[in-house]
Amino acid sequence: MQATVFSPHDHTHCVSSAISNAQNLCVERGVRLTPVRQRVLELVWRSHQPIGAYELLAGLVKEGFNSAPPTVYRALEFLCTQGLLHKLEGINAYVGCCNPDTPHQGHFLLCKDCHQAQELDSQYISLAIKLSADQHGFEIKRHTIEIVGICQACLDKPKKLESKL
């Protein structure tokens, strides 16, 4: 059992290191982490759980950025392309990537109780998918792996009403 996003931790540290890591990466890659883009990245990380485009947009507006949807969708597209964010298709929400240095598609555990998303990088899952695809002569471009359930921390808590995530 390892430390995860589900366990308590100093999240301001996660945020600031994600940002500075992103800044370095963008410099290395010769792409621009503009103010809107950085702000969106920061808002995603700060939320500590998957967050939707329009909620991010509301955050931008509060700080004087433009309030039209394309603003945030463009930033999200850039950040996802750079591997700094992942989109969770099942809930139309975005999470920060924990390891953006090596671009990849993530595997996610989504807790339907606390709404945290834990990114995995399981070689077993990757391999199993590769094998299945090979059996069908199928060439993989990308994949979506989203596992919904209850995290350890929530299982340990006294039971309460469940949302319908």
Partner DNA sequence: TGACAAATTGTTATATTATAACCTACTATG
Partner DNA sequence: CATAGTAGGTTATAATATAACAATTTGTCA
Residues that bind its own copies (CB under 8 A): 1-2, 4, 6, 89-90, 107, 109, 111-112, 118, 120, 122, 124-125, 127-129, 131-133, 135-152, 155
Please identify which residue in 15, 44, 78, 116 interacts with DNA, judged by CB under 7 A: 78
Report in angstroms the alpha-carbon separations of 45 from 13, 14, 16, 146. 10, 8, 9, 19
Report if residue 73 touches DNA, rule: CB under 7 A. Answer: yes
Q: How far is the CB of 55 from DNA (least distance, A)?
A: 7
* Shortest Å, Cβ 53 to Zn ion: 19
C-alpha distances in Å from residue 62, one per residue of 58, 94, 118 = 6, 19, 28
Residues recorded for the chain: 165
Would you say 112 and 79 are in contact if contact means Cβ atoms under 8 Å apart? no
Q: Does 31 bind DNA (CB under 7 A)?
A: yes
